[in-house]
Structure 1
Amino acid sequence: MLHTRESLTVDEQLVATRGRCNFRQYIPSKPGKYGLKIFWCCDSNTAYPLNGEVYPGRQHGAAPAAKDANRIRNLVNRLVHPWINTGRTITTDNYFTGAELAEDLLGVQTTLVGTIRRNKKEIPRELQPDNNRSQYSSIFCFDRQLTLVSYIPKKGHVVILLSSLHHDQAIDDEQKKKPEIILYYNNTKGGVDRMDQMVKTYSCKRKINRWPMTFFNIVDVGAIAAFLVWIKKNPKWNEKRQHRRRLFLMQLGYDLVETHVDRRRQQSQALQKNVRIALQTIGQTITTPQPDAVSTTRVKRRCQLCPRQRDRKVITHCMSCDIPCCPDHHKIICTTCYETFLE
């Protein structure tokens, strides 16, 4: 049985946008193809987002990616740094995996499992594709605390993985003879992908070409984290409903605006028609003032918002604080109450 509870996944997310941006990326394998790239470290089991870093593109004066061998290694070390020396296992794809990274993580009591590109210099020639090898065959290579495995899923194709967690030739899948390293990788590689899928299911983003609006993705990711924490603490909450996350997001959105709704509802005379309809749609009760609420039989008094030397007498009063105020300082409520309302 594979234990994945202590595994973390490091992968990339492409937040789609067509806006003009200096660090917009093009990844043809992604659905959106164009967008901003964010590297994430997520829990492999729950897809809980733990740490993220936006890729700003190659900076001016920096070394080319092919010559900057330490760039990706330093990126992974930054993403997983809060969880080093805790016995965790990091699962990565071939963009991140390397022998130097695995050795760095072993120095902080952290293991690594991931696919590795075939053009890496540390891969022996015997592990490369060979048409003479039979299907479902595996070749293992051991070097101190690192293990390489070359597996043939179909004729002429090879999958190579690096692991500092496994140290034997264990094969669990008897039908396709898959090594335990591959099965562990398949069970833990989807942490970031599941988080990205959840973001695309329910999102607050809108179709717009302004690239700064792309960072509404952070709100979506934060809502996922809040939902996972809530379910962890309240596992029986709507447990029989299949759309628990949608119900949670609806309640979360209402709780976030409840304070502002109550404040606006108290100033019902200043509400525009569409705002009043929106409040009534969500079940808010709004009391409409009577036509005689603004008395016209009052004695004229001096406007308290005009200079005293102006000595302007009026009969209109603010509907909120009931002070006399002239038309220059009064529509429905006085300018002072209006500024307080906007704060």
Structure 2
Amino acid sequence: MCPSRALYRDIGICPSNSKDDDESMESGTDFSDESDDICSPELDKTTGNDDSSSDSEETGLSDENGGIDDQPARVDKPADAGKTYYIDDFMNCLKTTFKACRGDSSFQCIDEQMTKFKGRSSFKQYMPLKPEKRGIKMWLRCDSLTGYTYDMSIYCGKEGSVLEGTLGERGVNGLAATISNLDVTLCFDRFFTTVNLINNIQYPALRTCMSNRKNVPKIPEKLQRGEAIFKVNSAGTIAVKWQDVKEVMLLSNCHTSEMSTVRRKMKDGTEAEFPCPDIVKTHRAIVGGVDLGDQMSGLYDINRKSNKWWKKVFYRGMMMAAVNTWVISSAQI
């Protein structure tokens, strides 16, 4: 075969393999003219190089009169839109789906979670005690035992108008407003805990609290390990100070002053039993649901580098959906 024959076959112009074509190619008598198949419309359609369509039609920049228009302007968010405008629809979709796929469990906890983000944002937070020190702070309501996420909200920074209650109270009330089952016991971080919140929330609630918070009873007595002091206010909220290795202060609207025991490991390696209020044992059993969900979300991270904060929240939301799916499927096995 003529070498030029192989070259034409390689570029797709002469696909035929017949002997007659080989002979005609060698004799040099079968060259195509300008009207043959090399430039035929059928070949152009196959390769996508139809000359009848202009470059402007391919790029979509031509107007109805055949002229070239400028590229469409970028659609910015409305002037009255909130800071979470770009992610609101996605978050609402997740919250609606999470609530519909699983009923409220009996024990739930509310805590904060950090989504890693090092770019620029007006509501980026710095929390040195968190594993992710810089990022977007979210408040979550999760199942205490499985880490299933029921509801979430993004903290957008300082609010301009003067609102009722503390920031923690508004965060807890906002997440608790979507609970459909009144028989739910809530446990939340001490950042949220105030006497006013425990007095007025419509659900059973308990949590550790800071002794310097407003209306928290002062208990100056020094206690020995295992000792406890209880105080109750007019609304039925109980405050307990219990001495473990350190002092522990808790508030609850669903407990009494009943005591039980707890085992602790001593310095010499032996174990000993100490008296312990029931509120402490309940707290230890139902705390940590948000941390559990956060841990599972971080096992297979799909995070990608981006300067857009809402993309980071989107990735975290997708991992929450994956964890919730796993929790539901595990319960059905």
TM-score normalised to the size of structure 1? 0.60
TM-superposition CA deviations, 1:201-228 (whole Å, max 9, x none)? 1121124444232111000001111111
- Shift, 1:158, TM fit: 1.4
Q: Deviations over 1:72-122 (max 9, x none)?
A: 2222112011225522111012111122212222xx3x1111011111232
Q: How many residues align?
A: 219
Tell me if 1:162 matches 2:251.
Answer: yes
- Does residue 42 (structure 1) correspond to residue 142 (structure 2)? The answer is yes
Quick check: 1:142–1:167 contact (8 Å CA) kept in 2? no
Measured at CA, do residues 230 and 84 of structure 1 come closer, stay the same or move farther in structure 2, by a change above 3 Å? Answer: closer
CA contact (8 A) 2:127 2:133 kept: yes
* CA deviations over 1:179-202 (Å, ceiling 9, x no partner): 111111111111000000011111
Provide the C-alpha distance between the structure 1 equivalents of 2:281 and 2:331, rounded to a whole number of angstroms: 27
Residue 317 of structure 2 corresponds to residue 218 of structure 1: yes
1:200 aligned residue (292, 295, 298): 298
The answer on whether the counterparts of 1:42 and 1:50 sit within 8 Å (CA) in structure 2 is yes
Instruction: Give 1:23's aligned amino acid.
Output: F
Which residue of structure 1 aligns with residue 239 of structure 2?
Answer: 148
C-alpha distance after superposition, 1:44-71 (max 9, x if no partner): 1111100000000113x344xxx96343
Is it true that 1:176 corresponds to 2:274 in the alignment? yes
Aligned to 2:207: 114
Secondary structure at the aligned position of 2:243 is classed as strand
Which residues of structure 1 form unaligned runs of 5+? 236-343
Counting aligned pairs with the same residue, the percent is 27
- 1: CA distance, partners of 2:231 / 2:161: 36
Q: Which amino acid aligns with 1:35?
A: G
Please list the CA deviations of residues 237-283 of structure 1 after superposition, one character each: whole Å capped at 9, or x if unmatched: xxxxxxxxxxxxxxxxxxxxxxxxxxxxxxxxxxxxxxxxxxxxxxx
- Corresponding residue number in structure 2 for 1:291: none
Where relative contact order (Cα < 8 A, 6+ residues apart) is larger, the structure is 2
Aligned mate of 2:116, from 16, 21, 42: 16
1:71 aligns with 2:171: no
Q: State the SS of the aligned residue for 2:297.
A: helix
Preserved CA contact (<8 Å) 2:149 2:320: yes
Q: Which amino acid letter does the alignment assign opposite residue 79 of structure 1?
A: L
Aligned Cα root-mean-square deviation (Å) = 2.1
Question: Could you tell me which amino acid in structure 1 is paired with residue 304 of structure 2?
Answer: R
Q: 3-state DSSP class of the match of 1:201?
A: coil
Mark the CA change 1:85 to 1:206 in structure 2 (over 3 Å): closer, same or farther.
Answer: closer
Whether the 8 Å contact between 2:260 and 2:278 is mirrored in structure 1 is: yes
3-state DSSP class of the match of 1:219?
A: helix
Kindly provide the amino acid, as one letter, of the partner of residue 197 in structure 2. L
Alpha-carbon contact 1:47-1:195 (below 8 Å) kept: yes
- Contact kept, 8 Å, 1:173 with 1:179, in 2: the verdict is no
Q: CA deviation at 1:142?
A: 1.9
CA distance, structure 2, for counterparts of residue 177 and residue 206 of structure 1: 50
**Residue 178 of structure 2 corresponds to which residue in structure 1?**
82
Match of 1:95 in 2: 191
Distance change in 2, residues 1:133/1:172 (3 Å): closer
| Separation (CA, whole Å) in 2 of partners of 1:228 and 1:152 | 37
For the 8 Å contact 2:194–2:214, the answer to whether it is kept is no
- How far off is 1:166 after superposition? 0.6
Query: What letter corresponds to residue 146 of structure 1 in structure 2?
Result: T
Deviation at 1:123? 2.1
- Structure 2: how far apart are the matches of 1:165 and 1:25? 34
Q: Structure 1 residues 84, 104: closer, same or farther in 2, change over 3 A? A: farther
- Return the alpha-carbon distance in structure 1 between the equivalents of residues 213 and 167 of structure 2: 16
Query: Aligned partners of 1:52 and 1:30: how far apart in 2?
Result: 18
Alignment check: 8 A CA contact 1:137 1:152 kept: yes
Find out whether 1:191 has 2:289 as its counterpart: yes
Q: Which of 51, 54, 73 is the aligned partner of 2:151?
A: 51
Q: 2:42: which partner in 1?
A: none
Paired AA for residue 281 in structure 2:
L
Question: Hey, what's the Cα distance between the residues in 1 that align with 2:180 and 2:320?
Answer: 23
C-alpha contact (below 8 Å) 1:15/1:214 kept by paired residues: yes
User: What secondary structure, in the 3-state scheme, does the structure 2 residue paired with 1:30 have?
Assistant: coil
